[in-house]
Amino acid sequence: MAEVETRVASIEVAGRSRSYIQVRRVGLRAGAPLLLVFHGSNQSAEKLRAFSGHVFDELAAREGVIVVYPDGHRGHWNDARIRSDFAARVEGYDDVAFARALIDLYVDSEAADAERVYAAGYSNGGQLVIRLLQEIPDRLAGAGLISATMPAPENLLPAVSVAPVPVLLIHGTKDPLVPYRGGMASLWGFRPRGLGISLVATAQAFAARNGITAAPTARDLPSTAPTRTSARVIEFAQANTPSVRAITIVGGGHTIPNPTAAAPRIMGRTHRGFDTARELWAFLTSAKPSA
């Protein structure tokens, strides 16, 4: 596999220094795609890299993607939920501006491809990606949500801009923090963070926003390794329209599927049958509207 370089850096956003980690292939030429990967609650950029089994680092090496892991304020993001009470919200951290600043930096200074900018997020990071889809969808060519469903209408910050974007969702049926079938997100019953809708309803909402009217199709996702969990795909697709794909991890927890790194048992089972970064990249590179 190609050699990568890792760099810790910071950028000034609204008078605040914001840190991030960059992973990119050595000698990468101009015009590379950019993927922002946002960590979950009580994590950091570095912790997310390990938690995911470094699959996004491997994506950078294998596919020539510039992968950037931003750091939230005190381990959290100012996300899409009205009920969010993290310090990032209370202290007025503008994480949409942070994402926009990183995109501008890499497009302007690092010659990343402005037409191939993507965002993915896990848990609280997924909720931030939902906010990005509500406010700057025109800057994103695709998005991935892991263990994060759309807030219920009364808990969702209003959309500033609406544009069709391909979206991949991954969620476990036994997620102990963010209910697969919708309900109150919390830390094992403590610190409720507002109601969310189900994974399937989230996929349907994005499909409707993208203008998809065709009936969804379903299939099982083959496993690449023995596992006590399984994966099933629901596909919302239509010609000339960005698609939406929802992957249900049957028996899976609040985790990021990957071959090597199991989450702590309290988070539920980690599906070992596929590599989230590979699945995300395969979806993003095939989900463009057909001519």
pLDDT in tens, 85-120: 999 999 999 999 999 999 999 999 998 999 999 999
Judged by DSSP in three states, 59 sits in: helix
The answer to whether 173 and 62 are in contact (CB under 8 A) is no
| 8, containing H or E segment | strand 4-13
Separation between Cα atoms, residue 264 and residue 40, nearest integer Å: 14
Pair type for strands 16-25 and 4-13? antiparallel
Structure tokens at 190: 């403590």
Quote the pTM value.
Answer: 0.96
Domain that holds residue 47: 4-284
pLDDT value at 265 more than 50? yes
Tell me the average pLDDT across 229-246: 97
Is 190's pLDDT higher than 70? Answer: no
In the predicted model, what is the mean pLDDT of residues 57-83? 97
pLDDT for residue 188:
65
pLDDT exceeds 80 at position 289: no
**Within a domain: 290:** no
Q: What's the CATH code of the domain at 259? A: 3.40.50.1820
Computed over every residue of the chain, the mean pLDDT equals 95
Examine residue 291 and state whether it is found in any structural domain, yes or no.
Answer: no
Question: What is the per-residue pLDDT for 291?
Answer: 37
Would 33 be classed as within a structural domain? yes
Distance in angstroms (rounded) separating the CA atoms of residues 185 and 131: 17
Q: Which residues of 171-198 are buried (b: 16+ CB within 10 A; e: fewer)?
A: bbbebebbbbebeebeeeeeeebbbbbb
Q: Which helix (H) or strand (E) holds 238?
A: strand 230-238
- The percentage of the chain sitting over the pLDDT mark of 70, rounded to a whole number, equals 97
Q: Residue range 133-150: average pLDDT?
A: 98
Quick count: other Cβ atoms within 10 Å of Cβ 217? 10
Asked, for residue 289, whether it belongs to a domain, the answer is no
Q: In this predicted structure, what is the pLDDT of residue 45?
A: 98
Q: Average pLDDT of 58-65?
A: 98
| 4 Cβ neighbours under 8 A, 6+ residues apart | 23, 24, 25, 26, 57, 60, 61
Instruction: Name the nearest CA neighbour of 229 among 258, 269, 184.
Output: 269
Which has the higher per-residue pLDDT, 65 or 1?
65
pLDDT of residue 225 exceeding 90, the answer is no
Instruction: State how far the Cα of 250 lies from the Cα of 215, in Å rounded to an integer.
Output: 22
Sequence-distant (≥ 6) Cβ neighbours of residue 279 within 8 angstroms: 168, 170, 247, 257
> Domain total for the chain?
1
Q: Mind listing the pLDDT tens digit for each residue in 129-139?
A: 999 999 999 99
Per-residue model confidence (pLDDT) at position 1: 76
Predicted pLDDT of residue 2: 86
| pLDDT value of residue 193 | 76
Indicate whether 32 belongs to any domain: yes
Query: What tokens does 287 get?
Result: 């989900």
Query: In this structure, is residue 214 part of a structural domain?
Result: yes
Are the C-beta atoms of residues 252 and 169 closer than 8 Å to each other? no
Mean pLDDT value of segment 32-46: 98
CB of 188 closer than 8 Å to CB of 265: no
Sort residue 102 into left (φ over 0), alpha (ψ -120 to 50) or beta.
alpha
Parallel, antiparallel, or unpaired for β 117-122 and 142-146? parallel
pLDDT of residue 189: 65
What is the percent of the chain with per-residue pLDDT over 90, rounded to a whole number? Answer: 91
Amino acid (one-letter) located at 23: V
